[in-house]
Amino acid sequence: MAKKVIEEIFEAPAKVLDESVHLIKKGEMAVINKKPFRLAKEYMNTLGPGLTTGAADDDPSGIATYSQTGARYGFNFLWLTLFSLPFMAVVQEMCGRIGLVSGRGLAGNIRLHYSHRLLYFVTFLLFLANTLNLAADLGAMAASARLLFPVVPAEFFIILFAIICLLLQIYTTYARYARYLKYMTLALFSYVLTAFAVHVPWGEAFFHTIVPSITFSKDQLFILCAFLGTTISPYLFFWQTSQEVEEEILAGKTKLAERQDVAPREIKKMQRDTWSGMIFSNLVSFFIIVACAATLYTHGITSITSADEAASAIRPFAGELTYLFFTLGIIGTGLLAVPILAGSSAYAIAESFHWRHGLYRKLHQAYAFYGVIIVSVILGSVGNFLRIDPIQALLYAAAFNGVVAPVVLFFIIRLSSSKHVMYEYTSRPLTRWVGWLIFFIMSISGIAAIVSFFL
């Protein structure tokens, strides 16, 4: 199925190329210049929750983890960007399918089919992981902003970014908000530009992308868990499931029965959207590792302890423009990820307690739902005044996600395999097998990270 979806993803560009060649023969150069851009724009318009979910996966927590990976181990862990792709795509496709077919969010489905105590436990773990992640992201954004405006205190930027994120979620319509999120993903291209702005031994990089290598040392086990945790993150599970529901409501399916009436073309559109987002996400993580390996690792700078140190360390080897790309990338992805972190907590808690929820509602229609968002952002902001190092906090947040993810994965796999929930759209045997394999790998890596942490 992955092969088929990937073929669909690249089908539009292939058609553009064929049509362009045909037009060249006719000499219709004006049409050639417009056609690819128009089709690219049309394709972009078909993307939604899958794209923003994939982009949010490269939040400051992810950027810090990938930067540390490249700085400490060079190109050695590039294989993770390739091998984790089908895993994260399968999990997010399960989440999107659950949202589309059931017409409910992930927490709402767990509440309906499992013990409420289990749900409260999962929701508590999610809220804890998201708050830690959110605090680390805001801290990294503030530290990066100070690189551009060093005279301004970090506290000012923390409060500023928190307010911007809250205003985006609370006082804009969902349709406009979703469009903002989609175009914020463009910030991630800064890391692609960074990689191409420095000298990279591409032969070595591609070799390590194909050939896995790991020594199972304490540090490498921690990095492995952090990498998996920031790539296959619990908040993304809840976010995409709920966003698929919101997209249906936006399309006019306001009643549960209407949302449960799903056409095969909607499933295919979701699959294409999800795979597009996951491919985009992993390409960005690939280029971040490459950029840091080619600059920091190559010059013996293997320990990054703060956000400004990560960007500043690249500066002498890559130049001012690359330094600017790296810095703006952290701020841009943070503005994308912070609302998604707070929003996924709000969806989970509101669905757990059966509160009115949804970004399509106005503040006065869902006080409790928006209250969770506000509390999450406030707690994340306050956490930064404890003077925890931003990069270390990001790495620990990613590792904690790696521990929490298997718990949530258990319910995702069970729900997506249940005819009670999914009717004729249950996950195929191969998808279920891959899901349980991911569950097993992440469980082992999470346990190994905990053990290594205390050794």
Kind plus residue range of the DSSP H or E element containing 430: helix 429-454
Name the residue among 357, 338, 360 with its Cα closest to residue 349: 357
Q: Which residue has the tokens 């992930």?
A: 106
Give the number of residues written for the chain. 455
Q: Which pLDDT belongs to residue 15?
A: 43
**Tokens representing 2?**
């992955």
List Cα–Cα distances, 69 to 155, 173, 175, 201, in angstroms.
28, 39, 37, 17
Asked if residue 277 lies in contact with residue 269, where contact means CB atoms within 8 angstroms, the answer is no
Asked if residue 105 lies in contact with residue 121, where contact means CB atoms within 8 angstroms, the answer is no
- Alpha-carbon distance of 132 to 379, in angstroms, equals 9
List Cα–Cα distances, 233 to 5, 91, 398, in angstroms.
22, 10, 8
Torsion angle in degrees (nearest 10) through CA of 91, 96, 101, 106: 80
* Residue ranges of domains in the chain, CATH in brackets: 47-454 (1.20.1740.10)
Q: Which amino acid is at 120?
A: Y
- Residue 252 Ramachandran class (φ > 0 left, ψ -120 to 50 alpha, else beta): left
- Alpha-carbon distance of 296 to 132, in angstroms, equals 27
Asked if residue 403 lies in contact with residue 446, where contact means CB atoms within 8 angstroms, the answer is yes
Q: Which pLDDT belongs to residue 39?
A: 54
pLDDT in tens, 84-140: 899 999 999 999 999 999 999 999 999 998 888 888 988 888 898 888 888 888 988
Q: Which pLDDT belongs to residue 197?
A: 78
Name the residue among 186, 166, 155, 191 with its Cα closest to residue 62: 191
Q: Which pLDDT belongs to residue 414?
A: 94
Q: Which pLDDT belongs to residue 17?
A: 38
Q: Which pLDDT belongs to residue 199?
A: 84
For the entire predicted model, the pTM comes to: 0.82
Q: Which residue has the tokens 């890559």?
A: 318
Neighbours of 317 (CB within 10 A): 16
Number of H helices, E strands in the chain: 21, 0
Neighbours of 354 (CB within 10 A): 10
Within 8 A by CB and 6+ apart from 376, the residues are: 127, 130, 131, 134, 341, 342, 345, 346
- Residue 211 Ramachandran class (φ > 0 left, ψ -120 to 50 alpha, else beta): beta
- Alpha-carbon distance of 63 to 334, in angstroms, equals 10
Coil/strand/helix, residue 37:
helix
Provide the residue-wise pLDDT of the chain in tens; the chain has 455 residues.
444 444 443 444 344 334 434 433 444 434 444 455 555 555 555 567 777 887 777 887 778 788 888 888 999 999 999 998 999 999 999 999 999 999 999 999 999 988 888 889 888 888 988 888 888 889 888 888 888 898 999 899 999 999 998 988 888 876 677 677 767 677 677 778 778 878 889 999 999 999 988 777 777 777 777 787 778 888 889 989 998 898 888 888 888 888 888 888 989 989 888 998 899 889 989 998 998 898 888 888 887 765 566 667 777 766 677 777 778 888 888 888 888 899 999 999 999 999 999 888 888 899 999 999 999 999 999 988 877 665 566 556 666 776 778 888 999 999 999 988 898 899 889 999 999 999 998 888 777 766 766 66
Within 8 A by CB and 6+ apart from 18, the residues are: none
pLDDT in tens, 137-158: 898 888 888 888 989 998 999 9
